[in-house]
Amino acid sequence: MQFNKSIIATTLLSIFALSGCNSGGSGSTSTSPVVPTKTITVIDGTLENAQICVDLNDNNQCDKSDKVLPQLTNKAGKIEVSLDDTKHALIAQIIAGTTKDSDEITPVSHSYSMITDAGKAVITPFTTLANVDPQALSNIAGDLGIDQQVLLGDLSTSPKARILARSMTQLMTDDIKNIAQQKAKFKTVINKIEEAENNGTLSQLENNRIVINKDGKAETQPLVKNITDVLVGKTWSIVSLNDDEYSDNGVASVNFKDTKNLEFTDDEGTNSATYSIDKDNNFIATADGDVDTQKILYVSSNLIISAMNVANEPNDLIIWSTNDLNTQQSQPVTANQFVDKTWYMLLDDSTAKPAIFSYSFNKNGSLTTTEPFDSTNSFTGSWLIDNDELTTIINDDEGSHTFKNIIIEQSSDYMVIKETSTDYNYPGATYAVLFNNQANPINILKQWDSLTGHTSITGLTITTNVNVAGHNDITELSIDKTEAEAKNPDSDSPTITIKNGKVTYSDSIFTDGTYYVMGYNPNQNGHDLYAYGPLKVSVINGRVQDLDFTNAPIVHATSDFNN
């Protein structure tokens, strides 16, 4: 990295001034003024790694004219926000696969946003409803028999409020105003809570959320706070996602008798073993001196996905289901579960390298299938629901291939499927998992990559919106970890060309954290730069947050910039 000498000189002078270095004198030191802040807490359970947006234009959404804070909430769901920023409404952006809810051990499975009015100290589903529809919040307080101020607080004193809050988030989206459309469903959840209180069983809901099923009825869903609690007392059906491993080993079952002992059954019979879950979420089972270790990558009450970690095994992904993976009877599905929706399939093949394919189910019955990390790997086809079963037809260079999909298990977040085909180019049956949100399979593959040293997700295309704010001479961005390096880009600093108000890049370029961004317009000789910035931004899941150069300072610099 080659730096501009004037910038280095200025930096050194600043250091000397701050340290009081002058002709050998001891001089007084000076410090930067302390900016007064206020602690804000984001709550469903407490939410770690939530992004905070200052709603500068007061339109109840985080857009280009607003301010996104570079830091995320800490493990306690807290963040320090300047008093100036708290003069505006604050929006918490909950990010699927990144934000961690203290109610569960895994990151949240879908993205949504919450808001609180200016000057408030907490952001919750209730502060969101108060902002969008105050009368609806008043009605909820009356139905629950809870003072409205309790709902607008930290929820620590009210079990009913905590149960309702975690249940509300399942119905919320990135569109904050959408919460006003969910009042009838909130009422259904409240009725379930009140029923439990009247029956003296409210305490049993403390470790559950209430979800609305496809029939519009309220049902309880256990929170996953401890993996062992999910396992004990259940028999799990397990199978490899890898085609060859499934062909060799088939489906097995594991009966977790208690917190230490299990019984494993496969084609060779039943064996007893002991097991444990370590602090790194490794499942470790021991039988007759043999050790089976699997890294748990995804966990819910009825589905677990792990990676085999045995010396002679290829780290293939393993599905654990509470339903029988050998079943030939599909759970019924409807067209409404697919039409105009995109599902993301996590699958493996004989190369023991898992992948993700997006399946876009179009209203006209056509199907578009694309691998997000390989834009050349795309197929067309069709789909239909026949006798409550999903059939997909994929067209490629070798012709048309029909797959019958047995839905073994399903929730609002995923479907476990068994694909069967009579096509000689495909195995007789393979297993896969469909997720309704791309963040979940990406998070699984990122963990798998870290475990195995592979780079299966390299090439994921990410887009950041760029508002050049009338500075049409900005054509390129320089992005780096330090302000100095962003101002002095060279071959080691990524530069990205702006096209139609956007920049597109691979998520492998940037690790998560804080970056500095400069907007540039190099002249024809490629050395003199008219620059704007720097902007200080966060990178989350490899994505640079949206950029706005409206208030960016303008500088003219000379640098060893090379396209």
Determine the pLDDT at residue 525: 47
Largest Cα–Cα distance in the chain? 89
- Domains of the chain in start order, with CATH, are 37-222 (no CATH), 226-455 (no CATH), 461-558 (2.60.40)
Report residue 432 as tokens: 């896969």
CB atoms within 10 A of CB 295: 20
**DSSP structure class, residue 381:** E
Closest by CA position to 180, among listed 166, 168, 194: 168
Residue 468's pLDDT band, with cuts at 50, 70 and 90, is: confident
Q: How far apart are CA 373 and CA 376, in angstroms?
A: 9
Q: Would you say 99 and 49 are in contact if contact means Cβ atoms under 8 Å apart?
A: yes
Residue 561's pLDDT band, with cuts at 50, 70 and 90, is: very low
Q: How far apart are CA 256 and CA 264, in angstroms?
A: 9
Task: Pick the range with the lowest mean pLDDT from 121-125, 130-134, 251-255, 506-510.
Answer: 506-510
- Angle 499-485-463 from CA coordinates, rounded to 5°: 25
For residues 235-242, give the mean pLDDT: 94
For residues 453-473, give the mean pLDDT: 70
Residue 19's pLDDT band, with cuts at 50, 70 and 90, is: very low
Residue type, 37: T
Determine the pLDDT at residue 465: 78
Determine the pLDDT at residue 47: 95
For residues 328-352, give the mean pLDDT: 87
Which residues does 491 contact at the CB level (< 8 Å), separation at least 6? 562
User: Order of strands, edge to edge, in the sheet holding 461-467?
Assistant: 502-506, 461-467, 547-548
Helix/strand/coil for 318: strand
Q: How far apart are CA 314 and CA 447, in angstroms?
A: 15
Task: Pick the range with the lowest mean pLDDT from 222-226, 279-283, 558-562.
Answer: 558-562
Beta-sheet pairing, 461-467 with 547-548: parallel
The answer, yes or no, to whether residue 16 has pLDDT greater than 60, is: no
**DSSP structure class, residue 388:** T
**DSSP structure class, residue 422:** -
Percentage, residues of the chain above pLDDT 70:
83
Tell me the sheet residues that pair with 239: 319
249 or 138, higher pLDDT: 138
The answer, yes or no, to whether residue 316 has pLDDT greater than 90, is: no
Q: What is the pLDDT of residues 176-201, one digit of tens each?
A: 999 999 999 999 999 999 999 999 99
- Among 55-64, 253-262, 441-450, top mean pLDDT goes to 253-262
